[in-house]
Amino acid sequence: MSLSADQTVEALRAAGEPTRLRILSLLAGEELSVMEMSRILDQSQPRVSRHLKLMTDAGLIERFPDGARVYYRLSHDAQARRLIDTVLDILAEDAGEADHRRLDEVRRDREEAAVTYFEQVAPQWDRLRSLYVSETAVEAALEKAVGPGPFERVVDLGTGSGRMLTLFGKKAKMSVGLDLSQNMLNIARTNVTKAGLDKVELRHGDIFATRLPAASADLVIVHQVLHYLSDPSAAVAEAARLVSPNGRLVIIDFAPHDFEHMREAHKHRRLGFADSEINGWLLDGGLTPSAPIALPHDAEGLTVTIWTAERRVQDRKTA
């Protein structure tokens, strides 16, 4: 369905201001908070918020709260995105260069803080991860959701201490674990060796660009990773790309919560995910989601959800 003339004029008016064009260009890269955009644009948060409201009302961008913070991203509406892409395409190539340099600075600051955190906590990672949620309960539910196997190839993105590899490695002909933290990878190597697994490959790799072949794994796992990421939808898209026909992607993460202290204490960027959000990303990746599994929350009030989805092969039989 195309935009009406009135809708097109409203959208163009909303976009037709220098700061708003700058914001659209930034959001074309990733979702951002008001605070981050204020820093990049060097404008006050109230001023940035006014621009954001106008574009939200016009359907160009989407607003979503995450605990005490609010994030924005480009609209998922196909016609709105087409209009945005057209507007951004005709901008001069050097337009927004300074903004994107500052965006890179924001990214580097986030990445450096995260790397420092993971390098520091790596030796205690399994203990820290179980402070809020019973790992025994999560792993029992996960094994039930994944099934008995066997698996041709398991890929664990953001493998951390390698716990998912030791849990499913014996059911797989071969496994691959990726992580950006060398300290974590060293711990994973020790744990994999202790588990007696010899067909496991551990790589220093980026969840956004794994460099693994498409459709190469019949089980892809993303365990307690998405809430650290600046662009979780892109990570899900990359994970989905790896899923082979009749293969499965499993995501384990927190349901939405409001524990703001986890941003500073544990470098969480997102405070959980709604079922509709994850399922939308899975569908966008060409996968068919199953019903989410929500594990009862612990004493702190955190709920862990397991989302699974398959790449189903269409029945080619003719009537």
- Give domain 5-95's CATH architecture: Orthogonal Bundle (1.10)
Q: Are 257 and 67 in contact (CB under 8 A)?
A: yes
H-helix or E-strand spanning residue 65:
strand 61-66
DSSP 106: H
Per-residue pLDDT at 267: 79
pLDDT the model gives residue 109:
78
For residue 285, CA distances in Å to 40, 76, 169, 288, 294 come to: 31, 14, 25, 9, 22
- Residue at 35: amino acid letter: M
Question: Whole-angstrom Cα distance, residue 22 to residue 30?
Answer: 13
DSSP percent split of the chain into helix, strand, coil, nearest 5: 45, 20, 30
Could you check whether 5-95 and 124-311 share the same CATH topology?
no
pLDDT given at position 119: 63
Name 71's bridge partners: 33, 64
- Give the contacts of 175 (CB within 8 A, at least 6 positions apart): 153, 154, 155, 156, 165, 168, 169, 197, 199, 200, 201
DSSP 8-state secondary structure symbol assigned to residue 196: T
Name the pairing type of β-strands 217-223 and 151-157: parallel
The full set of domain ranges for the chain reads 5-95, 124-311
pLDDT at 316: 40
Write down the pLDDT at residue 1.
59
* Rounded Cα–Cα distance for residues 202 and 26 (Å): 34
**Nearest alpha carbon to residue 306 among 261, 283, 258, 273:** 273
- Check: CB of residue 168 under 8 Å from CB of residue 147: no
Instruction: Return the half-sphere exposure (C-beta side, CA atoms, 13 A cut-off) of residue 129.
Output: 25
> What's the CA gap between 32 and 55, in Å, rounded?
15
pLDDT at 139: 86
How much is the pLDDT for 96?
A: 80
Q: What is the pLDDT along the chain (319 residues), one digit of tens a residue?
A: 577 788 888 888 999 899 999 999 999 888 888 989 999 999 999 999 999 999 999 999 999 877 777 889 898 888 888 899 998 888 877 778 899 899 988 888 777 766 676 666 655 555 555 556 667 888 889 999 988 889 999 999 999 889 999 999 889 999 999 998 877 888 888 888 888 888 898 888 889 999 999 999 999 999 999 999 989 999 999 999 999 999 999 999 999 988 888 887 777 889 899 999 999 999 999 999 999 999 877 666 688 999 999 998 864 433 3
- How far, in Å, CA of 299 to CA of 295, rounded? 13
For 16-21, the CB contacts below 8 A with 24+ separation are 17/51, 19/43, 19/48, 19/51, 20/51, 20/54, 20/55, 21/87, 21/88, 21/91, 21/95, 21/96
Instruction: Just give the CATH number of 124-311.
Output: 3.40.50.150
Give the model's pLDDT for residue 264. 79
Element (H, E) at 59: none
At 285 the pLDDT is 96
Whole-number Å distance between alpha carbons of 25 and 29: 7
- Which pLDDT score is estimated for 152? 94
Please check whether residue 154 is in contact with residue 175, taking contact to mean a CB–CB distance below 8 angstroms: yes
